[in-house]
Homo-oligomer: A and B are copies of this chain.
Amino acid sequence: MVGIIVTLRRLEAGVVVNRTVLVVDDNAKIVEVLSAYLKSEGFDVRTAADGPSAVASVAEQRPDIALLDIMLPGIDGIELTRRFQREHDLPIILVTAKTEEIDRLIGLEIGADDYVSKPFSPREVVARVKAVLRRVDGSHIPDAPSAIEVGDMRIDNERREVTIAGEVVELTRTEFELLATMASHPGRVYGRLQLLEAVSGDAFEGYERTIDAHVKNLRKKIGDDPRNPRYVRTVFGVGYKVGTD
């Protein structure tokens, strides 16, 4: 069981302080991947592998937000959520193994600020962490515009929704991640390995050409012709990019 704490910058008595995120999961790999992403986004990260460790970590120093797995040794995520919210008014994002659990949790009025179901992409988690922090203290969190526009296409990270000329386009999780990743830096070229990592969290396993398949499906849905693309351009021998030539 591992817990991670992450932070984004915040102004405190005139001093710039990184936001701290506590990540709690017993899967070391998940913790590692999330840590890397959160750190690269400017958060400070602390980790815990089980319930009691998480409690100790929060008691020692209150993080700005906690990411809790539900299945946890010692004390489970639900109990932790109750305790942290009551005692520390801590924003919480719960991680569940099954989608259906979310409904049950909401029914139980657990009161977490957001939920993420596995499998999730690191990008998605980071986006939600930022969203919750933004919502909670309404402040300026650098980066992460909630929506990006490329031509008449609009990518809304918070709602996880893409519209073209106002029309909603239904995308799968992977397709959205692919598009959102590339659109976060329009014009920048992304290699297949980078995209594979952004989509699956691991660049080492998996077939690079899988990305091609997703790009194909994505293009079909957004009505993009590979020969004359408006949105997703292929960069021969390198990868793909979105937007400006």
A→B interface (CB under 8 Å): 28-30, 32-33, 35-37, 39-40, 99, 119-124, 127, 158-161, 168, 172-174, 185, 187-189, 191, 193, 197, 201-205, 235-238, 241, 245
Residue of B nearest to A185 (CB): B158
Residue of B nearest to A235 (CB): B160
Which A-B residue pairs are the 7 nearest by beta carbons? A173-B237, A36-B123, A36-B124, A160-B189, A159-B187, A36-B121, A158-B188
Contacts of A193 in B (CB 8 A): 33, 36-37, 122
- By the criterion CB–CB under 8 Å, are B40 and A159 in contact? no
Q: State A197–B121 Cα separation when bound (angstroms).
A: 8
With contact pairs A168-B245, A201-B121 given, residues A161 and B187 touching in the complex (Cβ less than 8 Å): yes
- By the criterion CB–CB under 8 Å, are B241 and A159 in contact? yes
Contacts of A127 in B (CB 8 A): 36, 39-40
CB distance from A1 to the nearest CB of B (A): 14
Q: State A35–B236 Cα separation when bound (angstroms).
A: 19
CB distance from A225 to the nearest CB of B (A): 19
